[in-house]
Structure 1
């Protein structure tokens, strides 16, 4: 008769081994920085970095479209030059995110990725904060041209956070409306005496 203790130990070892295989096969979750935009599902460290780079590219792309009112900002030139200078990293970010959506959504991955990218663009809408957003995008676009090859991964998170902060419109003193009220003097009722009782001549 088999020793019950030995049999139990074997079962525990088998279960532990199976659990280890499952954990090794599953991508490790990574606590990504909150960069705004559409919500993301569990990402690996590599996917999180690609996400930050993709957000930065999208934000600067939006600025190239929305900020042409000021030639000084040079958002179109900066964006186009950034694409050329950092093309390898941008391509890797695209491929990483594409694999991310294929892993989670299977055949629907490409469509999910397209929808996700569209929502990213919409999240950079700067209707009420166009001046501050365009100013920040102009600065970041110029800075990106001074970053060496392969440096987007270390710069993207901070850059995106700056773009997000610029989407919050600062107070505009010319648009603020001061609301107040006028204190009217108390008008005594001529038909009520000082004790609060009706006066007979008023027939009340």
Structure 2
């Protein structure tokens, strides 16, 4: 009596390896989270003057990087922002000079320049710039109803709106990292065996 044929090899269907959101690099370092779960960024717990200056920085990054149909109104809005609020921005700048001088003494200029570089780099994160462009359009529209006297009061809200797409991206990237760890734990060894020529798919 002929022996029964051996069972077919087990086919392991491996789902695609998770990839970073928005085409981001696979090894990014995210801003840390505090004990309460909130994410600490360069915009966290800043003074009113710093909030305004960081909003200006975000708007500036958008004006320099947003192109196409969005580009013109953002650049025009930023130019108007600089003119309309010139006195308020100058006052904020002077306040920041004093704040950094109080905190850092003789190192104030260097510390402020280093911090400001961090702010610009934060808002210039390539995967998120397209979303920043939309946020900048929304901010430009909102500023039409903001007087010079109201600008400092508006700044924290405007800054939060500019930062929102970055926070969403960080959360998405954190989920990608978790998904990747789970994928590696379940399928990493299987994929390695398949690459070595074992009977897996």
TM-score of the superposed pair, with normalisation by structure 1: 0.58
Matched pairs, number: 135
User: Hey, what's the Cα distance between the residues in 1 that align with 2:131 and 2:73?
Assistant: 15
C-alpha contact 1:50 1:94 (8 A) present in aligned 2: yes
Higher RCO (CA 8 Å, separation ≥ 6 residues) = 2
SS at match of 1:160: helix
Unaligned segments of structure 1, at least 5 residues:
1-33, 172-178, 182-204
Q: CA deviation at 1:147?
A: 0.9
Partner in structure 2 of residue 127 of structure 1: 126
Partner in structure 2 of residue 149 of structure 1: 148
Rg: which structure is higher? 1
C-alpha contact 1:86 1:149 (8 A) present in aligned 2: yes
Residues 37/70 of structure 1: CA separation in 2 closer, same or farther (3 Å cut)? farther
Q: CA deviation at 1:102?
A: 1.0
Partner in structure 2 of residue 97 of structure 1: 96
C-alpha contact 2:63 2:71 (8 A) present in aligned 1: no
C-alpha contact 2:64 2:75 (8 A) present in aligned 1: yes
User: Hey, what's the Cα distance between the residues in 2 that align with 1:36 and 1:50?
Assistant: 17
User: Hey, what's the Cα distance between the residues in 1 that align with 2:100 and 2:56?
Assistant: 18
TM-score of the superposed pair, with normalisation by structure 2: 0.59
User: Hey, what's the Cα distance between the residues in 2 that align with 1:72 and 1:105?
Assistant: 38
- What CA deviation, in whole Å up to 9, does each residue of 1:147-176 have, x standing for no partner? 1121111111111111111223498xxxxx
Q: CA deviation at 1:146?
A: 2.7
SS at match of 1:64: helix
Match 2:41 to one of 10, 27, 36: 36
RMSD over aligned Cα atoms? 2.7
Partner in structure 2 of residue 78 of structure 1: 77
